[in-house]
Structures are given as structure tokens and as C-alpha cells.
Amino acid sequence: MKVAIVGASGAVGQEFLRVLEERNFPIDELVLFGSHRSAGKKFQFNGKEIEVKLLQHNDDFKGIDIAFTSAGGGTSVEFAETITKHGAIMIDNSSAFRMDKDVPLVVPEVNATDAKHRPRGIIANPNCTTIQMVVALKAINDLSKIKKVHVSTYQAASGAGAAAMDELYQQYREILEDKEVTVSKFAYQLAFNLIPQVDEFTENGYTKEEMKMYNETKKIMHSDIEVSATCVRVPALRAHSESIWIETEKPISVVEAKEAFKNGDGIILQDEPSKKEYPMPLFVTGKDPVYVGRIRKDLTNPNGLAFWVVGDQIKKGAALNAVQIAEYLLA
């Protein structure tokens, strides 16, 4: 298997290297691609050093079986044809193709078979917040159809990139040293703060991040499920948290929900309130599954259920989900 990573030096690109190694993905050759900024950099993979090649419109993708792309939507759109024209399957992390009718949008635990129908050779990886939410929703939806979802997210700084993580550290240092606080990666100071805005606002008052949860969930779950989201940036470093409220067609008890989460694909149930056991981003960082806890009945609606979900957004929310799609194709 000949595999390519486009955007290899970014936070998600680097996670691809780790996940492919960790899962022993069957690779005969790995080719790394990047922009002028990262071409020539070298990275270790399975004990070997690989140099990043400059991404260009040429025949470098001839012979590549799978290309994981994580260099941003602009690059994905510009290079999709170059990448796929010799038969490579492009598993794309950007939002560029996610809602296109002829591009499947896949979370393997939920709709793996959609990956088979890819007329353009492109499979889209959903947004991190959607991925971790639908893994949890699937477990309940199998018991009774979910009609509505209200969700608030608590998104870690690293969701805005590796440099944003550095800026958060820097802000805390500057505050402790009584210096002026650097703000360039976020709309405001994030240290000792939170920001109720992830990505830009759209015309209806929701942000793009919030509308991704609305649109992508319907497509992945093949459902008319309604999702209303508030996405918030918090000063956690890595792993996104979500407070989720759902309304199902039939009432689901807490016991039934816990059982469904316990048996759910890709889920770890962590729900012992009396022992202060619930998922938290600090402890979910670097983990594969989506963690679910704080399961309780909604007090305003007999068909309502509330719970708390935490997932590593760079791992399951990005690189791992894409690699699992590739594994499904090979199985």
C-alpha cells in the first residue's frame, strides 16, 4: 500500500504519522507532501526519516493508493484532481467537499458503507465536533430515533491549530509576568477566559462551526435530525467536550442509555457521579474512543436525555477517523 499525507507538518498531519504507526497500517511506502514552507522538513516514520515533498501539479500521485489530506480547504480544492486522477482515494479533512452529494461523509461507527460510493474518488472526514457527537448519538438512535439535539461545545485551543496552543501557553506566561497579552490566533485573550465563537458568523447568527454540526449530522445519520449548537472555545489544550441534550421518539431510561453507551462502538462509558467519575479533556487527550458520562433524564421532557461527551479532536476527531475509513476500505 502506497500512502500519502498532504499537509504532513501540521498538527493533524503529524497525528496521521502517529496513528498510522500505532495501528500498524499496512504501508509499503509513505510519501509526505507540504507547501513551500514545509517542503524539505524531515519526519520519522517507523524508524525511517521521510522528507516532505513540495505539493505540485505533476504526476507525483501516480501509484498512490490512499492520500490523507489535511492542508486546508483551499489546497484540497486546488489539488483534488491532481491527487485523484491516477486512482488514489483522497480522504479529505477539510470542509470543502463535505456537503457535496457525490462525496460520502463518513464516521465508520455510524455509516461506514457510505465510503463505498465515491464517484469522484473523494471521501470527506467530518468536522471534529460532529464526529464525536454522532458516535455517541448512534448508540441511542439505535434504541429510538433521535428527533432533536441541543449541544454546547467546549473546544480546546488546539482545534485552532498548533500555533494557537502555543499562544495559550504564551498568554498565561505573559499574564504571570505582567506583560501585555499577545492575541493573534483567537478573537480575544483565551487565558482565564472563554470565547463563544468558533469560526466566523453566518447570516442566521450561528457560526460556521455550529452550522457544520447542523448539516453534517443529518448527512452522516441519514436522518432529518435537528441540531442546534453553541460552539465555545475554552482554555483546555486538547480534546473537545460537548454537553448534549436529545429528544427521542420513545422515552429512554438512564439504565437503557448507559447500556447502549457501554456496548456502543467506539465509546467508553465513564459515569459514576458518586465517585466523581466523568470524562474530562485532560484525561481523554491521546485516547482513541469517545468518552460519555453524566447521563441523566432531562427534567423538562419525558423523552429527553442529557449527557456529556469528550473526545480527542485531533485523534478521533480527525486523523484516527480518516485512518479508520481507510481500514474499512481495505477490510
Q: Smallest gap, in angstroms, from Cβ of residue 88 to ligand HSE? A: 23
Cell numbers 501539479: residue: 57
Residues 274-313 that bind ligand HSE (CB under 6 A): 313
| Distance separating alpha carbons of residues 244 and 258, to the nearest angstrom | 15
Rounded to a whole number of angstroms, the CA Rg of the chain reads: 20
Angle between helices 254-263 and 128-141 (to 10 degrees): 120
C-alpha cell at 149: 439535539
Residues 157-186 that bind ligand HSE (CB under 6 A): 159-160
Helices (H) and strands (E) in the chain, counts: 9, 14
Catalytic residues: 128, 240
Q: Between 39 and 162, whose beta carbon lies closer to ligand HSE?
A: 162
Sign of the alpha-carbon torsion through 285, 127, 297, 146: negative
Q: Smallest gap, in angstroms, from Cβ of residue 262 to ligand HSE? A: 27
Asked whether 118 and 91 are in contact (CB, 8 A), the reply is no
Q: Smallest gap, in angstroms, from Cβ of residue 160 to ligand HSE? A: 5
Q: Which of 82, 127, 285, 324 binds ligand HSE (CB under 6 A)?
A: 127
CB neighbour list of residue 24: distance below 8 Å, 6 or more residues apart: none
Residues 239-268 that bind ligand HSE (CB under 6 A): none
Q: Is 250 helix (H, G, I), strand (E, B) or coil?
A: coil
Residues 311-330 that bind ligand HSE (CB under 6 A): 313, 317-318
Q: Is 182 helix (H, G, I), strand (E, B) or coil?
A: coil
Cell numbers 448508540: residue: 139
Where in the chain does DSSP place strands (E)?
Answer: 2-6, 29-34, 42-45, 48-51, 53-54, 66-69, 89-92, 122-124, 146-155, 226-233, 240-248, 267-269, 290-297, 304-311
| Distance separating alpha carbons of residues 163 and 168, to the nearest angstrom | 9
Q: Between 66 and 131, whose beta carbon lies closer to ligand HSE?
A: 131
Q: Which of 15, 92, 167, 209 binds ligand HSE (CB under 6 A)?
A: 209
Q: Between 118 and 315, whose beta carbon lies closer to ligand HSE?
A: 315
Q: Which of 31, 32, 128, 252 binds ligand HSE (CB under 6 A)?
A: 128
Count of residues near ligand HSE by CB under 6 A: 10
Q: Between 234 and 254, whose beta carbon lies closer to ligand HSE?
A: 234
| Distance separating alpha carbons of residues 189 and 173, to the nearest angstrom | 12
75 binds ligand HSE (CB under 6 A): no
Q: Between 228 and 301, whose beta carbon lies closer to ligand HSE?
A: 228
Q: Between 159 and 293, whose beta carbon lies closer to ligand HSE?
A: 159
Residue nearest to ligand HSE (CB): 159
Q: Which of 96, 112, 149, 198 binds ligand HSE (CB under 6 A)?
A: 198
Indicate the burial class of 176 (C-beta count within 10 angstroms; 0-12, 13-18, 19 or more). Answer: exposed
Q: Between 285 and 313, whose beta carbon lies closer to ligand HSE?
A: 313
Which range of residues in 81-89, 98-106, 155-163, 272-280 is near ligand HSE by CB under 6 A? 155-163
Q: Smallest gap, in angstroms, from Cβ of residue 195 to ligand HSE? A: 11
Q: Smallest gap, in angstroms, from Cβ of residue 233 to ligand HSE? A: 7
Residues that bind ligand HSE (CB under 6 A): 127-128, 155, 159-160, 198, 209, 313, 317-318
